Chains A and B, each alone.
Chain A
């Protein structure tokens, strides 16, 4: 089966940089995805890494190391609106559906 581990909570201040780590165990790896969910809202897609290295999208970057079964989401120039839950996810063994980690709650304070 698949399993993902990520910290349950992270706190930071506005303007800072925060890194949310994710380690995974899976057979048949298809890539690592990240989703954001504001309280009470729907999850939204942030980024995807299919190959090793860094993917950058504005203030957000995501990194993958397949040899270490590890990835992270890097959020720069934090803003209050970044307070949300962040989920890493991998595709299931059959290649047909995403399996999510338990999520990391990020709290940004002023």
Chain B
């Protein structure tokens, strides 16, 4: 029972490079989310999806794009990485969006942009 799997777990990018973070869930959850976590800032919502083929902006969407082509996968893209995007990125999924219960998080991707 894998739950939510994020790849890669660690990555170092140079400024201006691009990359895609992959999130996969095997729980048949409808809703998926991308958060970033910085020291003292908690978890901030980047983008989310309420179902296959849908995406929506969260609190801090600038500099990121997302796609949800398949229900089980949610991709987060950085087109031109900046040092300000150095962070830990968490993906989460849930079957219930309007109660905040039972979000399942992945183990995170630690990204450093130099």
- Please report A residues at the B interface, Cβ cutoff 8 Å: 8, 30-33, 35, 41-45, 48, 50, 87, 89-92, 94-103
Please tell me which stretch of B13-21, B62-70, B105-113 contacts chain A, meaning at least 4 of its Cβ atoms lie within 8 angstroms of it.
B105-113
B77 to chain A: closest CB distance in Å? 19
Are A43 and B90 in touch, CB under 8 angstroms? yes
With A41-B107, A42-B108 as known contacts, state yes or no: A102 contacts B40, CB within 8 Å: yes
A-B contact count (CB 8 A): 72
In the complex, chain B residues whose CB is within 8 Å of the CB of A41: 107
Q: How many residues of B contact A (CB 8 A)?
A: 28
With A42-B105, A97-B58, A99-B59 as known contacts, state yes or no: A91 contacts B99, CB within 8 Å: yes
B37 to chain A: closest CB distance in Å? 9
In the complex, chain B residues whose CB is within 8 Å of the CB of A102: 40-42
In the complex, chain B residues whose CB is within 8 Å of the CB of A33: 99-101
A58 to B107, CA, bound (A): 25
With A43-B90, A96-B48, A103-B42 as known contacts, state yes or no: A91 contacts B107, CB within 8 Å: no
What are 7 of the A-B contact pairs (CB < 8 Å)? Answer: A33-B99, A43-B90, A48-B101, A97-B48, A98-B45, A98-B103, A102-B41
A43 to B104, CA, bound (A): 8
B31 to chain A: closest CB distance in Å? 7
* Interface presence of B33 (CB below 8 A): yes
* Interface presence of B114 (CB below 8 A): no
In the complex, chain B residues whose CB is within 8 Å of the CB of A43: 43, 90, 92, 103, 105
Among candidates B41, B44, B100, B107, residue contacting A90 with C-beta atoms closer than 8 Å: B100
Are B42 and A45 in touch, CB under 8 angstroms? no
B73-114 contact mask (Cβ, 8 Å, vs A): 1 or 0: 000000000000000001010000111111111111000000
In the complex, chain A residues whose CB is within 8 Å of the CB of B27: none
In the complex, chain B residues whose CB is within 8 Å of the CB of A103: 42-43
A43 to chain B: closest CB distance in Å? 5
In the complex, chain B residues whose CB is within 8 Å of the CB of A8: 40
